[in-house]
Amino acid sequence: MLGMGVGPNEIGGGSRTGALAGASGGQGRLRDEDREAIAVLLSVHGLGPLTIGRLVDRVGSPAAVLDLAGGPGGVAALVEGSTAADGAWRAMPPAVAKAIAAAAADRTRLLDQIARSGLRVVARGDADFPRRLIEIDLAPPALFVRGSLDALAGERVVAVVGTRRPSPAGRQIASRVATALSRAGATVVSGLAIGIDGAAHAACVTEGVPTVAFIGGGHERLFPPAHDRLADAIVAGGGAVVSEYAPLVEPTKGTFPQRNRLISGSADAVVVVEAGARSGALVTASWALEQGRECFLVPGSIDSPTAAGCNGFLRDWHGLAKIVSGIPQLLDDLGLAGVAALEGAPGSDPGARGSRGRSTVRLPSAKAVLSGRDPAMLAVAEALVHGAVIVDEIVAVTCLSVGAVLGALTRLEAVGLARPLHGRYEPIGSLAAADPKAA
């Protein structure tokens, strides 16, 4: 995978496997018993899409795999069924075969758990399975979905990812990128992680447009727990929270790299805003290139740890990875409608149409976001948008007293436009997407 490390459970090679070969017999929609069988199989630790596909190809259908596992000599039959006659791959470990047999015996409880979690099982062969994911290597046999997948059927889907420890500027860039993408008509997908992922999702929620989050564990083991309210907001806004893991599967260091292939595979392009030298966002970027998706990275200072991964990836994959030189340029490179310029961009005319005859996509100014608020709130908001993060900086920029700045920050917090973070302040909500260059 382009030199990047990969996780366990068969990720990192292989071909498109017919994981549902014979499940619907080529006739219409997937059978309910096969969809349920896939859900049960996905609850088995250590059983990945390649082995599920091999078993289905050999036995005939997912339901037949469970029937085989629950019958006499089921464990031995599973081991034999997963073995290639030409020795092209090794048989599954007996422990995994025993786990499949145990899951087959416990299928009623496992299916009840899925129902209690409020999830739908969307399998390959179902009409609403994301079409872009069908095209990738190691496509998941099924997805556990909370919410609606309709947004993934859109004309353009773009992933926005990055580090869990972003700079304040990185958070704002992620918010502005996600806002601009959504206003240009694209669906934004990400991984619901703390940091850049969360900022991208939150920007879409603020805009009132659907966004889709792929998580690295089961829905009942949501990680990070701090984003449970954001997950609720995503679903309430018409989007979805999606996993390829059964509800009780714990997230691990191995499940997140696997999850990342779904983020990139569900999109037409991936944008990495900030990433350290060993950031998981670079795994997503690597998957994107391997899957034939476009890959864009925001460069940064050579002295910034949060920019080291992006800068290094741009150097290592010159000609494949593309630089983000500005949000208007990014939208133009993505070929989105109405992207010729953004309000406040150098050389743009907010009242004119773009150079290619397309209408302008506009990000809000701090003044527009604070319309009707008091002057001190506006001054402090503009200082935050322009990168001031501590009270002393805001005082210096605004020439307001310390008391006036603290009061304005309190009022901005109250209306959901700013928040304190480890002694610093940052814009949130619609203010996070404000363009510092906008009039």
Q: List pLDDT tens digits, range 378-412.
A: 999 999 998 888 999 999 999 999 999 999 999 99
Residue 189 in any domain: the answer is: yes
Q: Which of 360, 359, 382, 361 is nearest to 370 (CA)?
A: 382
> How buried is residue 329: exposed, middle or buried, by Cβ count under 10 Å (0-12/13-18/19+)?
middle
Question: Residue 387: which CATH number?
Answer: 1.10.10.10
Q: Are residues 258 and 388 in the same domain?
A: no
- pLDDT at res. 93: 84
Q: Are residues 293 and 241 in the same domain?
A: yes
Per-residue tokens: 119: 């999830």
Q: Are residues 319 and 370 in the same domain?
A: no
Measured at the alpha carbon of residue 355, what is the angle toward residues 349 and 360, in degrees to the nearest 5?
55
Q: In a 3-state reduction of DSSP, which class is residue 133?
A: helix
Q: Are residues 303 and 183 in the same domain?
A: yes
Q: Are residues 303 and 419 in the same domain?
A: no
Residue 104 in any domain: the answer is: yes
- pLDDT at res. 88: 56
Q: Are residues 207 and 298 in the same domain?
A: yes
β-bridge mates for residue 318, sequence order:
321
Q: Are residues 154 and 88 in the same domain?
A: no
pLDDT by residue, tens only, the chain of 439 residues = 443 333 333 433 334 444 453 344 343 467 899 999 999 999 988 888 888 888 888 888 999 998 888 888 878 888 876 666 555 567 778 888 899 999 999 999 999 999 999 999 999 889 999 999 998 988 999 999 999 999 999 999 999 999 999 998 999 999 999 999 999 999 999 999 999 999 999 999 999 999 999 999 999 999 989 999 999 999 999 999 999 999 999 998 888 999 999 999 999 999 999 999 989 999 999 999 999 999 999 999 999 999 999 999 999 999 899 999 999 999 999 998 554 444 444 444 443 334 334 446 778 888 888 888 899 999 999 999 988 889 999 999 999 999 999 999 999 999 999 989 888 898 988 898 888 877 5
Per-residue tokens: 236: 């309430």
Residue 280 in any domain: the answer is: yes
Q: Are residues 107 and 154 in the same domain?
A: no
Q: Pairing relation of β-strands 240-243 and 424-427?
A: unpaired
Contact 2, 286 (CB under 8 A): yes
- pLDDT at res. 439: 57
Q: Are residues 156 and 258 in the same domain?
A: yes
Q: Are residues 201 and 320 in the same domain?
A: yes
Per-residue tokens: 56: 């289905």
Q: Are residues 280 and 161 in the same domain?
A: yes
262, 292, 324 — which closes off a domain? Answer: 324
Counting the structural domains of the chain, the total is 3
Cis peptide before 224 (omega within 30 of 0): yes
Residue 108 in any domain: the answer is: yes
| Length in residues, the chain | 439
The reported pTM is 0.83
Contact 241, 262 (CB under 8 A): no
Contact 80, 91 (CB under 8 A): yes
Cβ neighbors of 243 (< 8 A, separation 6 or more) are 143, 144, 214, 215, 216, 217, 218, 219, 249, 259
Q: Are residues 409 and 289 in the same domain?
A: no
Containing structural domain, residue 377? 366-433
Q: What is the DSSP letter of 248?
A: T
Question: Residue 272: which CATH number?
Answer: 3.40.50.450
Phi-psi region of 241 (alpha: psi -120 to 50; beta: other; left: phi over 0): beta
Residue 355 in any domain: the answer is: no
How far apart, in whole angstroms, are the C-alpha atoms of residue 106 and residue 98?
Answer: 12
Q: Which of 5, 35, 6 is nearest to 23 (CA)?
A: 35
Residue 67 in any domain: the answer is: yes
Contact 177, 155 (CB under 8 A): no
Per-residue tokens: 72: 């006499």
Q: Which of 249, 245, 232, 242 is nearest to 265 (CA)?
A: 242
How far apart, in whole angstroms, are the C-alpha atoms of residue 88 and residue 274?
Answer: 40
Residue 63 in any domain: the answer is: yes
112, 128, 162 — which closes off a domain? Answer: 112
Residue 263 in any domain: the answer is: yes
